[in-house]
Copies of this chain bind each other. A is one copy, B any other.
Amino acid sequence: MSDSGSTREHSKAGLPLDDVGRLVELLAESGVGEIRVRQGELEITVKAKAEAPAEQPAPQAAARVEAVPEVGAPAELPAERNGDLHMVRSPVVGTFYRAPAPGEGPYVEVGDRVKVGQTLCIVEAMKLMNEIPADSSGEIVEILAENAKGVEYDQPLFNIRPEV
């Protein structure tokens, strides 16, 4: 296993800090990405700050992984896409209802202006009706979940354009 050799050698001879220091200087001055020196049991590695952590390719367990159907895909709906919009997410797993009861009108429609605390929908979990309030005042610009369908924890439900 990779062990940070320098610290383990500590007891034997004292850390060769001068060497390390010079390597660091060398690294900074030269602008190279990494310097590693190993000598016998001793190994020194000096790396520049990674500019962008190298992405590991995602595990691809054959084709099946791609075929996973999900109730929703919370993490994949990026906030960035929404610019200045505020996203309301489900705080619980359950069934999403836009109206207080069957046959009644929905709490909100696209275009409605809502205030903080105003109920936007219900997420039912274990027979409990969880009223989900707006946590930002503004205009409903998008309804992201489908009525009477399941939603996951953290799944986006509404996009609100906050009041300025």
Chain A residues near B (Cβ < 8 Å): 1-2, 11-12, 15-17, 19-28, 30-51, 53-55, 57, 60, 62-63
Contact = CB atoms under 8 A, between A and B. Distances in A.
Dominant SS among interface residues on chain A = mixed
B2 A60 contact: yes
B60 A1 contact: yes
Contact of A32 (B39, B41, B48, B60): B48
A45 B35 CA distance: 6
Contacts of A21: 26
Contacts of A55: 54
Contact of A45 (B16, B36, B49, B54): B36
Nearest to A3: B63
A15 B32 contact: no
Contacts of A63: 1
Given A34-B45, A42-B38, A54 B51 contact: no
Instruction: From A19, A22, A27, A50, name the one whose CB has the most chain B CB atoms within 10 angstroms.
Output: A50
B35 A46 contact: yes
A47 B100 CA distance: 50
Given A19-B15, A54-B50, A24 B33 contact: no
A77 to B, nearest CB: 15
Nearest to A10: B39
Nearest to A25: B30
A50 B33 contact: yes
B32 A27 contact: yes
A46 B17 CA distance: 14
